Chains A and B, each alone.
Chain A
């Protein structure tokens, strides 16, 4: 536990020591993204509350030296609940590439994405949701990565979650057979204290596959969740993607997937796209259909439409978006999320007493400057 407490301090000390050892001629650079957005939340009475949000992704680019790599990235943002400036270290790690082992020590992104919109077998559930990363991805951890050949590897991770006294750990193997990318992983989640409640320790085994069936990209995942003295859950996901070219040369990209799992694991997988509680009247097993269509208007702009719908109660979230690359460094993003469904359905309005109310919709407009 002492190691967990002083984890960041140790990492900072090691990094500063190594930085002082680098020749001053090494080319250190700073880059990142500045985003200014206006987010409008529409509640069930039709009232709109708007708040501006400014965020800055700042990364220090330090050239690799002597098989060492240092990465440092900080995310500064206006906290929507306190309206104060807040920050989060996304990366603060040191990686050393030994001959047969890559060791990464420090704050680092850990994601086992394989191209799906939701991932039921990620190292941290909800780390990537609908192609968007979440804060859950960034962990204080030690990762050992062992490459066996150009496409085969084994990695072992020990992470130190802030909400737990214990270590979370995972193993992942990756290989390719007949053009299919295959992974097998295991995660042991420790007991977590969250908002006054204790979430018991759990384990899961996951398997993913991704490849091509003719002109269609296909993928799937199988996850087995289990706890001590508790029911287990077998979750699965299947999906595919396809591109269609119009006569005029424009392209539309489709992605469709189906996820089946127990409702108790669903909220962590949906992450910020799911603001409410899981209604009690739903079946134990929930089926979700996810769809995405992305149409390129020209080289610089595109529109997309994503949907998440519940097979059990017909409720749905529709997420349209528009992106325009205004110049080399400046882009405009418009997006919305509209929730449809009966009362107490998965994505519909909440009526249960004490349950967190869900918004009716959200509209966001933002400008991003890259440097």
Chain B
């Protein structure tokens, strides 16, 4: 009987140890590991997407639709709604080019325009066309844990790396502990002022990864305005011809 009690005790201790070890491993994920997992989930080699932007201000709203192609460094966007049909953008690293469909001309857009609202939306060109991994741009640390919309989340703070060009000096991200997807993000200026807040309304598992298919960007500097970004179709890791991201393809 004593032997059985002894084995039971050892079994309980081992179970506790194993459970603690698992919990400790989970809890002790570093900020870098978390953000890497997020990057691996949200970033891809190539993607093709169809999306719509709903720009809302007070009681008024307008809808813009687009198709986009992106690889690790470059993005190509073409608008398809009647008012902007045929307007195309090409972003290669920090350079942005725009094709005006009526005039059929390609103009290099000044660098200061990259941080401005894309076609009147609250998403900047950089927000929509950014292809870099967050870990290449920011140093992250864990600053807390919290439930967001019923999902347990890590709260991470990212500060822009020295010498790296970014739109937001600081970003605070709520990252889903199970799906490693950013559910909420606050974007700050260097002065400490919050510029924008983005929230994910809907995620879907597509081709083995969790994708935010409906998200909202709110410009915190303006009242009663936000932009909803809805992905209507997305395909990953397609073969995109090299000349897709060229000026000749804008024409």
**Which residues of the other chain, A, contact B245 by a CB distance below 8 angstroms?**
150
B5 on interface, CB distance cutoff 8 Å: no
Partner of B247, one of A112, A133, A150, A179: A150
Partner of B92, one of A109, A128, A150, A211: A150
Query: Could you tell me the distance in whole angstroms from the C-beta of B92 to the nearest C-beta in chain A?
Result: 7
Indicate if the CB atoms of B251 and A299 lie closer than 8 Å.
Answer: no
- Which chain B residues (60-108) contact chain A, with CB distance < 8 Å? 60, 62-63, 81-83, 85, 92, 94-95, 102-105, 107-108
A231 on interface, CB distance cutoff 8 Å: no
Segment of A12-20, A285-293, A324-332, A354-362 engaged in the interface with chain B: A324-332
Query: Could you tell me the distance in whole angstroms from the C-beta of A290 to the nearest C-beta in chain B?
Result: 16
- Which chain B residues (101-130) contact chain A, with CB distance < 8 Å? 102-105, 107-113, 116-117, 120-122
B187 on interface, CB distance cutoff 8 Å: no
Indicate if the CB atoms of A113 and B107 lie closer than 8 Å.
Answer: yes
Indicate if the CB atoms of A243 and B116 lie closer than 8 Å.
Answer: yes
Report the count of interface residues on A (CB-CB < 8 A): 49
A115-B108, A133-B103 are contacts. A147–B116 as well, Cβ < 8 Å?
Answer: no
Main secondary structure of the interface of B (DSSP, over half): mixed
Give the complex CA separation of A50 and B37 in angstroms.
65
Query: Could you tell me the distance in whole angstroms from the C-beta of A117 to the nearest C-beta in chain B?
Result: 12
Main secondary structure of the interface of A (DSSP, over half): strand
Partner of B103, one of A113, A114, A216, A298: A113
Indicate if the CB atoms of B110 and A247 lie closer than 8 Å.
Answer: no
A181 on interface, CB distance cutoff 8 Å: yes
Knowing that A111-B105, A243-B113, A249-B221 are A-B contacts, what are 12 other residue pairs whose CB atoms are under 8 Å apart, sorted by A's residue number?
A: A61-B85, A111-B104, A112-B105, A115-B107, A128-B103, A147-B246, A151-B246, A151-B247, A217-B111, A298-B57, A300-B55, A370-B82
B residues at A contact (CB < 8 Å): 55, 57, 60, 62-63, 81-83, 85, 92, 94-95, 102-105, 107-113, 116-117, 120-122, 219-222, 225, 243, 245-248, 251
Please, could you name 19 A-B residue pairs with CB atoms under 8 Å apart, sorted by A? A31-B85, A61-B85, A114-B108, A115-B108, A133-B103, A145-B248, A147-B248, A176-B108, A211-B108, A212-B111, A243-B112, A243-B116, A249-B222, A299-B117, A300-B57, A327-B62, A328-B62, A328-B83, A329-B82
